[in-house]
Structure 1
Amino acid sequence: MYEKKIPINLNCGLDLIGEVLYGKWKIRLLWFIHEGFQRPSELQRKIPDASRRVLNVQLNELEAAELVTKVVYPQAPPKVEYSLTEFGLTLIPVISALGQWGDAHEERLRSAILKRHIPQE
């Protein structure tokens, strides 16, 4: 099992949020589950850049944080569906606000990101 080299810091709300939501795809997973995409294959189609393994790991972490629940239907092959818990639903307005802020500052953010990732001559 993976063991962190740096001890976790749980001194404030931002530290706690970072521990729970750290992961490239977690916020998108929460949003897409909220929109009704519940099966792993649907989530994979919505986030094609993520590997199935990474999505599974992050979904398991969201489940451990009690933000999503997983239901496995006993059939062959097994059918799995995810849904937000009441606790997970409380994050949706926050995620929505972050998305709106990103949309409002899209040009500035895109420029800053591209400066970091494109070598300057």
Structure 2
Amino acid sequence: MIIGIGVDLVDLARFERAVTRTPGLLERLFVPVERELPLRSLAARFAAKEALIKALGSSDGIRWQEMAVVNGPEGSPDFVLTGSTADAVAARGITSLHVSMSHDGGAAMAFVVAEGDPR
């Protein structure tokens, strides 16, 4: 059963300005392995994390450093959740997350579907 869906769109120029203007933003939003990626990929991962929060219905218990967007076994994006973020997702009855990301034409976007058995 679908528990929630979320979508987010990031303007690449605005994201780049925010990263340039705010020291430490990348360290606050991304785990070390993510920070090695190009800015357009980081923008898509930011969109994925925002879309996950929207799919969950709130940011209660969610920590930026406890969610990473990685390449899954088939090369498609996947979430790795830890700590209170993993606990918050499990508490909502979510057993599976599906994420799709793209970037083109000055924008990055992501779509997340959360599946499981709501409690």
Q: Does the alignment reach a TM-score above 0.5?
A: no
Higher relative contact order (CA 8 A, sep 6+): 2
Larger Cα-atom Rg: 1
TM-score, normalised relative to structure 2: 0.25
**TM-score, L = length of structure 1:** 0.25
The structure richer in helix per residue is 1
Structure showing the higher strand proportion among its residues = 2
